[in-house]
């Protein structure tokens, strides 16, 4: 039977931008990727990565292609269709003491999306990105052919697809190695940290003995308190420590409607961050943690992006090189505050080595992610001294421009999966790797049939 195309409003997790697009949805990924110019899974990328290049471009929604195809309990190698969600993998495999080698901060992502974004997680300093653990990919290329690629076959296509934002081919199947875990529970430790130096020092020290680390920061605290927050560390609990029963899936709350714009304001964000920091008593807490609470705290609330209202929000994530005096991270947070930035949730993590994906985000350094509501208002620092009110969009653009200028000067880079506002000239200057990526893309898709709204914005693709 033919697949019906439907014209719908498409948006990423940040709900900005949103566009009209034509989506195809079917169990038969082979069928719907034939004409489509982009694949889209659970749409958890924040900006325009999963949005079509133009109003008539077809998007293949992969979420119905969700079968496991092979699993070897000896080696842990799992092969599955690209639309299977991480949540489903966890539901089936966690209780058998297998876990994905790398997980992002939500389980509402598909395998194909994990490859396209080359996701990283709390264990990046030990295990690298998800792509490090991928053995083979089956792709539908722009010319319609289907190929398998790996480190042995078409390695440059393989490496360009990992972290390639879906621009090299539609991911149809993914084969990767799962990790054996001693139990399905986490043993965690969390610690309140007074400032940025202590946070970065804490992350470095924790990295030596903990396989998973991440820091939350109260990014409204400035001055001496800049970078204060909570450092979280974890490892899988041993079979002796863990309860006999595997963890039960957590109950979830839902946000039933779009909150009005005033709910997320400078004051509510300040109150939330202050409380979150203050309620962490005693200073150090230890104990068994449910894996969902540890890896996916925000998944506890379905559709939490609705609390930002219809105007939406964006996430800004960059990685800045290490420095002995932690100068880059300090200057970055400082600029964010001075520009009047407010972030509901801010996450800091020290990244390990660069992965195999040609355009993958992580590199050694300090990664910072900020969730910023899109709201109209004045600029805190206006280059022309102008004091007029700007739309939410222009205000966000101005903030991102100022942050990108600093990231560029510090030698850092941004994460495409989160991005909605970066200018092409900034991106090109941050990414000397872009040329190599472009060459591989040109070899496999000379007409640039595969494209996204993001590649139109940043790489100059045709809309």
Partner 1 sequence: MKVAILGATKGMGRALARRMAERGDGLFLLGRSAEDLRRSARDLEIRGAAGPVETAVCDLLRPETFAPALDRATEALDGLETVVVTAGMFATQEELEGDSRLAAEVLSADFTGTVLFCEEARGRLLAAGGGTLCVFSSVAGERGRKPVVLYGAAKAGLSQYLEGLDHRHRAAGLKTVCVKPGFVKTGMTAGLKPSPFAGEPDQVARRVLKAIDRGWPEVYAPGIWRWVMAVIRLLPRAVMRRVGF
DSSP codes of every residue in 374-443 = ---B--SS-TT-----B-HHHHHHHHHHHHHHHHHHHT-EE-GGG-SS--HHHHHHH-TTHHHHHHHHHH
Task: Say whether residue 69 binds partner 1 (CB under 8 A).
Answer: yes
Task: Say whether residue 338 binds partner 1 (CB under 8 A).
Answer: no
Task: Say whether residue 92 binds partner 1 (CB under 8 A).
Answer: yes
By CB under 8 A, name the one of 35, 58, 71, 204 that touches partner 1.
71
For the chain, helix, strand, coil in percent to 5 are 30, 25, 45
CA nearest neighbour of 190 among 212, 218, 167 = 212
Question: How many degrees, rounded to 5, is the angle at CA 333 between CA 328 and CA 335?
Answer: 90
Cβ contact 370:341 at 8 Å: yes
> CB-wise, 108 or 314, nearer to partner 1?
108
| Integer Cα distance of 452 and 52 in angstroms | 5
Task: Say whether residue 431 binds partner 1 (CB under 8 A).
Answer: no
Could you say which residues in the range 6-35 bind partner 1, by CB under 8 A? 6, 24-28
Before 282, cis peptide (omega within 30)? yes
Task: Say whether residue 205 binds partner 1 (CB under 8 A).
Answer: no
> CB-wise, 64 or 194, nearer to partner 1?
64
Least CB distance to partner 1 at residue 64 (A): 5
> CB-wise, 27 or 258, nearer to partner 1?
27
> CB-wise, 73 or 424, nearer to partner 1?
73
Question: How many degrees, rounded to 5, is the angle at CA 244 between CA 241 and CA 247?
Answer: 95
| Integer Cα distance of 297 and 104 in angstroms | 11
Cβ contact 278:186 at 8 Å: no
Task: Say whether residue 70 binds partner 1 (CB under 8 A).
Answer: yes
Least CB distance to partner 1 at residue 35 (A): 14
Task: Say whether residue 253 binds partner 1 (CB under 8 A).
Answer: no
CB atoms within 10 A of CB 52: 25
Least CB distance to partner 1 at residue 43 (A): 15
Task: Say whether residue 272 binds partner 1 (CB under 8 A).
Answer: no
Interface stretch with partner 1, choices 34-42, 62-70, 100-108, 364-372 (CB under 8 A): 62-70
Q: Name the site residues for partner 1 (rule: CB under 8 A).
A: 1, 3-6, 24-28, 61, 64, 67-71, 92
């Amino acid at each position: 039977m033919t697949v019906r195309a439907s014209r719908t409003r498409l948006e990423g997790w940040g709900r900005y931008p949103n566009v009209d697009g034509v989506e195809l949805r079917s169990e038969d990924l082979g069928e719907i990727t034939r004409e489509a110019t982009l694949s889209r899974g659970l749409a958890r990328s924040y900006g325009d990565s999963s949005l079509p290049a133009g109003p008539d471009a077809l998007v293949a929604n992969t979420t119905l292609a969700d079968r496991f195809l092979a699993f070897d309990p000896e080696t842990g190698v799992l092969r599955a269709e690209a639309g299977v969600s991480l949540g489903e993998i966890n539901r089936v495999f966690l209780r058998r003491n297998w876990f994905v080698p790398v997980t992002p901060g939500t389980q509402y992502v598909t395998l194909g999306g994990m490859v396209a974004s080359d996701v990283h997680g709390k264990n990046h300093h030990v295990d690298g990105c998800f792509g490090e653990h991928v053995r083979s990919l089956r792709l539908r290329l722009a010319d319609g052919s289907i190929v398998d690629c790996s480190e042995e076959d078409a390695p440059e296509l393989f490496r360009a697809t990992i972290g390639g934002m879906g621009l090299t081919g539609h991911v149809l199947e993914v084969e990767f190695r799962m990790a054996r875990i001693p139990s399905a529970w986490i043993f965690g430790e969390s610690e309140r940290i007074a400032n940025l130096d202590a946070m970065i020092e804490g992350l470095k020290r924790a990295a030596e003995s903990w396989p998973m680390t991440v820091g939350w920061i109260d990014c409204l605290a400035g001055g001496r308190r800049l970078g204060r927050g909570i450092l979280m560390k974890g490892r899988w609990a041993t079979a002796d420590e863990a309860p006999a029963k595997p963890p039960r899936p957590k109950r979830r709350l839902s946000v039933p409607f779009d909150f009005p714009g005033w709910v997320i304001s400078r004051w509510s964000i300040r109150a939330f961050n202050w409380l979150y920091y203050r309620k962490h008593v005693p200073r150090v807490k230890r104990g068994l943690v449910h894996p969902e609470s540890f890896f996916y705290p925000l998944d506890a609330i379905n559709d939490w992006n609705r609390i930002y209202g219809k105007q939406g929000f964006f996430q800004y994530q960059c990685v800045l090189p290490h420095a002995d005096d932690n100068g880059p991270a300090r200057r970055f947070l400082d600029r964010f505050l001075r520009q009047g930035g407010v972030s509901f949730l801010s996450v800091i993590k020290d990244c390990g080595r660069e992965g195999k994906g040609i355009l993958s985000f992580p590199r050694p350094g300090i990664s910072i992610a900020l969730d910023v509501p899109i709201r109209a208002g004045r600029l805190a620092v206006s280059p022309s001294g102008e004091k007029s009110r700007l739309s939410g969009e222009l205000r966000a653009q101005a903030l991102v421009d100022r942050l990108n200028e600093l990231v560029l000067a510090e030698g850092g880079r941004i994460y495409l999966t989160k991005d909605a506002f970066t200018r092409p000239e900034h991106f090109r200057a941050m990414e000397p790797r872009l040329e190599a990526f472009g060459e591989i893309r040109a070899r496999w898709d000379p007409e640039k049939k595969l494209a996204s709204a993001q590649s139109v914005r940043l790489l100059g693709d045709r809309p």
